[in-house]
Each structure stands twice: as C-alpha cells, then as structure tokens.
Amino acid sequence: MTITYFGFFVALVGGLLLVVSRPISLLNFVLILSLMGGSAALIVSSLGGASVQPVSLGLGFLMMSVALPGRGRNSLLMDGLRENWALVFFALYGLIAAFFLPRIFAGAMDVVPMNPSNISFLFDTFPLQFSSQNITTSFYLAGTAAGAVCAYVACKALEDHSSLIKIGIAAGALHAFLGLSDVVLNGTVYTQFLDFFRNANYAQTNHYFGGMPRIDGIMPEASAYASMAFVWFVLMTEFWLRRIMPVYSGVVAVALLCALILSLSSTAYAALAAYALLLLVRILIVPGSITASRIFILIWFATVGLATVLALFMFKPLLAQEFTAMIVELTAGKVDSESGQQRLFWVMQGFNAFLQSYGLGIGPGSFRSSSFIVAILGSMGIIGIALFVLYCLKVFKPLATSTYAVNQEAKKALGAALSWTAMMLLVPISVSGPSPDPGLLFGLLAGASMGLRERKRAGVTQPRWGTDFALEGAPHPAG
C-alpha cells in the first residue's frame, strides 16, 4: 500500500481535528474531501492497484471521533445504528453477497467486469468469477453505511449548525469554480494544475464535443463532475427556497447551474429536467411548499434565460443549428451511439444477472452496470432493493410536514434540505452509476438529515426559518 501526498494531507488535518475538535468538524472536512473524486490518498497494490479516495481516508478519522472510548457518545452511536438500520443491513448483506454469490454462480454467466480495462470490443464479456472488485465494492458499501451513522451522531446533538451551512455553500462554490475555470482556462497551464489532483487509478479523461471542452474539474470524467455539481446545485437551491443564507446559496446555485449547462453532459441535462419537474409538482401538489416570492423569482429567471437564448439564436442562426444538433446528439443521439449501445448492454446484463440468480443477485462488484438501480437488482437482488427503498423512505419522510414546510424549526429545515438533496443525488447515478453503492456522499447527507430532523428535546426551543436568517440560525431583525 502506497500513501500519496493527498493521503499525507488528509492524515495531518484529520489527525489534528480528531484531537482538538468535535465530530462535526471532521464531518465538514469529509464533505470538502468529497469534491476530490479523481484523487487517490492510498494506492492498494494487493487489490490490483485500487485507489482509496481522500474522502474515504477522511471517513476513518470521522469514525474514530465518533467511536473512540471516552468520548461520551456511546448512546448516540447506538441511536445512529438503530436509525440507519436499513442501510447498515444493506451494506452487511452486500458484504456477504460479494464474498459468496460470485463463487456460487461462478461460470454460470458471462459479464462485463467492474473494471473494464481489458475490454477490446464494445460487448466483450468474461465468465463470472470472484475478483478484487468484489472486495473493493463491498468496502465502499460499508463506508457508505458508516458515513451515515457517523453523520447522524455528529448532527444529532448539534446546537450550532452554522458550520454545516457554511461548508455546504463553500463546497458548492469551490466545485462551481473548478468547473467554470476549467472551461475558461482550458488548454493552458491551468489544465495541468487541475490534472495534478487527478492521480487515482481511474480512466482520467478529457473529452471535447464539437470542439468545446467538457468540464472535468478535478473529477475523473465529465459525467462525474456533472453528477457532483448537480448534488450541490440541489442543496443550494433547497437552501435558497428555505431562506437559508439566501444571498450566498442563491449565487452559488446560479454558478452551479451554469457549470451544469456548460458541462455538455447528458447526465446533467437529465438530472436538471427531473429536478425541474419535481419543483413543478411541489408547487402544484403541495401549496405553500415554495413561497410565492420564490415562485416569481424562478419564473423570472426562466423567462429571462429563454428570452436571452432566443435573442441570441435570432442574431446567430448558425449557432441555433449547432446548439440543436448538440442537444440531439447528447440526448436522443446517445441511444444510437456506440457509447449508448454499450451502456444499454451493461444495463441489460444487470436484469439478466437478477433473473439467472433467481432474485438473489451475483454479488456487488461482479459486473459493471450503467444504472445504480439495476446494479442493486443484479448484485443484491430482492433483499438489497427492498432494504434500500426502506432506507430512502425513512430518510425522506414523504408523509411528514417538515419535508415540505418552509416555516419550521431551523434544524429541521436544514435536515429537510439535506434529505431532498440525498434523494436527488440518486437521479444521476440511476442513469449512469456503475455499482450498487450509492456513494459515501449519499450516506453523509442522509445520516446528517436524520440526525437534524430528530424530535427536539423537552424544554429546548429552536428558531424558525420563514424569512432570511443569519448564520447562527437566529431570525433576521426584519422577520
């Protein structure tokens, strides 16, 4: 095992925070590290050169902060395990399935391996067998569950939640900056600076479409950048809708929206369309879930944006033709492209694995999918999908008033924003996710959401967020 310079940095900062600070500081640190999707903190040669991301190493320090003896958090830890039981059992079943199911069904079918580096043809397959990818994927599943439990503990007893808000806004702003600067300064020495952070043993790509660069930032590929940008865009939008630091969250949301549009990623466009549709449904089905002033601003932005695009196309007809051709190729044209056919083939093998394993699955890491949902079906079968759906219902609380209400307790408002973000995070990976692991960021957001939305203790009052609020959660004087 080799530690990289990023590993040394995480160990230094994580160790310092472990000694002098609380779990919430380490949770904030891990959230920032989640932006380094193309980086490696550790290279594990015994697992075929597998890369351990900085966020995973940072999680280790967060786990120590929560679980070390003498920290007085044993009861909270038990609460975290109990509240996140569905995700914990999801990961546990994934661990068992990863070790046994590939051996049980070995040779029974041909699959595309999780690491398709040896593929020479679009539809190459290999006999199913146990591999290091089974170990790696089960390791990530366990990390996701551990992240949810730790985030729950870090947020459950939290009274001052301003740091979590600040870090969320800072992370969104940083990700937007890395993407937009990648476009503006593409082809300069700045591109080499960004590549310095992309040291993981992944397929680090730099794609162009029609002569325009696709945004990678410090992520391994454009779709990975777009998926991460969408997560922070949703969080910033949910902050803005609930008037949580609305000026800062609104500006960052607009910057992330620009990055998503310029990313030239079909994943980004599909996710944005899904979220726009969901906002429309919320307005129509749950009156009051979005205030009239916010609805007016959304309509104004949409109108101005559409008018600007139409005016640009009127004066530049050639640009309109190029733009239309680009959108068609990135969406409908994807189906007929080699990449689209390959991804469809990967999705279908997930259904095939589900059927041939009699609904049990063939183990996480046994094959590569192009849909997170189908990956669960093919890897963990009925048991896996049932546990994950139960966990999502527990996180989102679709029947709870706090999920939709604007004027509510400060911590519950923040928790509701995180729950919406965690659920929307599943949209991009449902159309491009290669494995059954929803990701550590999902676990962190979901666990933090549940910790913040727990019922308040007797005698403790929380400020309400119905107007613009200060960092500390106190109401604005005008409110």
Query: pLDDT: is 451 or 157 the higher one?
Result: 451
For the beta carbon of residue 210, count every other beta carbon within 10 angstroms. Answer: 10
CA distance 243 to 282: 17
Q: Is residue 243 predicted with pLDDT exceeding 80?
A: yes
Pick left, alpha or beta for residue 264 (phi over 0 → left; psi -120 to 50 → alpha; otherwise beta): left
Does residue 406 contact residue 289 with C-beta atoms inside 8 Å? yes
| pLDDT value at residue 334 | 59
Does residue 457 contact residue 158 with C-beta atoms inside 8 Å? no
CA distance 10 to 204: 22
Average pLDDT, the chain: 83
Q: Is residue 110 predicted with pLDDT exceeding 90?
A: no
- Owner of token pair 């139960």: 390
Q: How many residues does the chain have?
A: 479
| pLDDT value at residue 318 | 64
- Helix (H/G/I), strand (E/B), else coil: 303: helix
Of 219-228, 256-265, 300-309, 439-448, the one with minimum mean pLDDT is 300-309
| pLDDT value at residue 470 | 42
Range 318-343 average pLDDT: 63
- Which residue, among 129, 132, 125, has the nearest Cα to 111 in the 3D structure? 125
| pLDDT value at residue 376 | 94
CA 224-227-232 angle, 5° bins: 125
Using DSSP, how many helices (H) and how many strands (E) does the chain show? Answer: 18, 9
CA distance 395 to 442: 11
Give Cα 376 to chain centroid, integer Å.
17
Q: Is residue 12 predicted with pLDDT exceeding 50?
A: yes
| pLDDT value at residue 216 | 83
pLDDT digits (tens, 9 = 90+) for 143-202: 999 999 999 999 987 777 889 999 999 999 999 999 899 888 887 888 888 888 888 766
pLDDT digits (tens, 9 = 90+) for 276-305: 999 999 888 888 888 888 888 888 888 887
Of 74-78, 218-222, 300-304, 338-342, the one with minimum mean pLDDT is 338-342
pLDDT digits (tens, 9 = 90+) for 181-195: 988 888 788 888 888
| pLDDT value at residue 319 | 56
